[in-house]
Amino acid sequence: MDTSAPGLAGVFASKLTLDMDQPRRPPFTGTLETGCTEGEAAMANRAAARKSLDEIATFEDKAYAFTRNGPMRKGAATGLADIIETLYSEHRYLESLLDTLEKEAARLKPGKIPDYPLLLDIVDYLARYPDQYHHPREDLLFSRLLARDRMFQVRLDRLLREHETLHHYSDRLFNELSRIADGAPANQPDLLLSIQKYIAGYRQHMEYESKEIFPLARGTLKAPDLKKLAAKTRYLDDPLFGSRVSDRYRRLGRNMQARLGAATEELVNREMSAIESAVKNVADVAERLSSLRENLPAFNCRGGRREAGHTASQSWFRGAPSWQARVLNTCTRLFVKPMMQFGSIESMRAMTGRMDERQGRSQPEDVRVKAVQTGDYEGEWVRIAGRRAQRTLLYFPGGGFIMRTQTQHRAFAARICRAARAKAFVVHYRLAPEIPFPGGLEDCLAAYHDLLKQGIDPAQITIAGDSAGGGLVLSTLLALRDEKAPMPANAIVLSPLADLTYSGKSREFNKQLDPMLPTHRASHMHELYIGDALPGDRYLSPVLADFEGLPPMLGQVGSTEILLDDTVRAARQASKAGVPFHLEIWEEMPHVFQMFSVLPESRVAIERMAEFMIHSTLDVFPDRYGSSDPGARRR
């Protein structure tokens, strides 16, 4: 088993912002005073969210500039390029490292014991590895800028001078700290002053690049240029902030992981509240803009008059994800992905439990829930009051095989039931590490057989699931086929986790682009579910199995997910076996985006799921949302 520590691609989580152009991040402003009432606390949280949105929400969309006044159309859709987004992210990672260096250097005073080896590790990294991982991306970007604009030479000369100065400071500090680590006496005042100057120079350099150079690249380079640059550098992996920490920096990695782990549960929940409030706040603005747009002359996406027959919603989505999705991607990248990468199982369960509890206070009044507990598993029936269900949805929730968000999945199942005139049975299968494979799969099988024992016609059953639950859908179908049980009418998988050998290439080429799931940590968590079994087992990695005899399937996945290939390969296996599989690759959608009701794409996806449940087939996937061609996502 690989014992490498997870990478540190999110250690900045305690100082986050939505502003992609600001290297210095203001602290979260939503802290509540103790002793306030619940109503005052709610008002303060809303006010903090509005203030945070007003101060820091500036986001570049492909067709719109997202500002405090809502989405504003650009003159030309340039887009947030993959390579530029990666450079911004790496600046934040380096900034978090400088924060650690600054904090430890503050102990260079009487009465304190500084950690000299830690100081040496940080300076060693800053001296060595940006040249091998960060600067190659910058060099490609700068050379393309220079080819486009010869006047860029002046800025490039400044950048090169600053790089040389930083190299000089890095070498001096590294030599001094190496000498101290070997036992030489330390001149603490002089060392502190040198480190402070070094940190100030590094931050000034990154600020210049973030505010002057990267925005210039956005406005100068064309989308094909940026995509080529991203393709050349997508496999560069950093030994500290990449998919895993190298042995050389294991101690530094543990130190920074501990800093992140010190974030309290209250802070995590407050940040998640800010995400929800911010997106909903902007959604309100969008509704007002939409109403205003209906009363104005119709325009198409390029700024001219809209062609006859195109509705406002068609124009709004054409060629790019919605701005709501772009904002949500930024929020999840900044808040959720770091938590997923570094939180312990206990802390992640506590966090999701608190979020689930909060969401439970706003359930629709017409949703009826009946809990079920058997000797094998737990579950609950979800129905819409006043509606006669014509179909049955058997739903397997996701959660990486280790977490449960009961309320959120109940609400999601209710939305599907409302659209498909169905009732749902949500299976809360047993979780790892307490119950490893095949415990959860056996629970899912038992739930399906119980539906048949209740007299429910298998031709009226749809099995569906998301993420880990999506993988269990495929595994359940294989098990039902192997035991020659009656098959359901159809099945739906949403971003399924269906390959625990991790052989899909999207785990590499999307590891920087996925706004939610960290590659290596996700793999580590799933090992808890695998237990002593072989990862290549057909019921653990169903995309490696033969799909002959399975029912028609619908698969929906985001184009930038690390799990993209799990869905694509499932579609290919179905095609080989002659099984109908409707593949939908949604442009730049986050993991299981269907659960985020604030997204317009979520509503469309659920409508298509409902149509598939009823007819086992679908109309052509609209190209304004993405593609059904897996090759199109990689060209």
Active-site annotation, residues: 467, 561, 591
Strand (E) or helix (H) holding 585: strand 581-586
Residues 6+ apart with CB under 8 A from 125: 97, 239, 240, 249, 252
CA distance 137 to 121: 23
CB 488 within 8 A of CB 394: yes
Measured distance CA(82)–CA(129) in Å, rounded: 21
Please count the other Cβ atoms lying within 10 Å of the Cβ belonging to residue 602.
22
**Residue 411, helix vs strand vs coil:** helix
Identify whether the C-beta of residue 380 lies closer than 8 Å to the C-beta of residue 330. Answer: no
Collapse the DSSP code of 369 into the 3-class scheme (helix H, G, I; strand E, B; otherwise coil) and give the result: strand
Q: Which of 407, 396, 395, 402 is nearest to 355 (CA)?
A: 407
| Cα–Cα nearest to 539, from 457, 436, 619 | 436
CA 322 to chain centre: 16
Q: Which segments within 444-547 are labelled E, that is strand?
A: 461-466, 490-494
DSSP letter for 593, please: G
Count of C-beta atoms within a 10 Å radius of residue 217? 24
Say which amino acid occupies 444.
C
Decide if 258 contacts 11 (C-beta within 8 A): no
Number of H helices, E strands in the chain: 21, 12
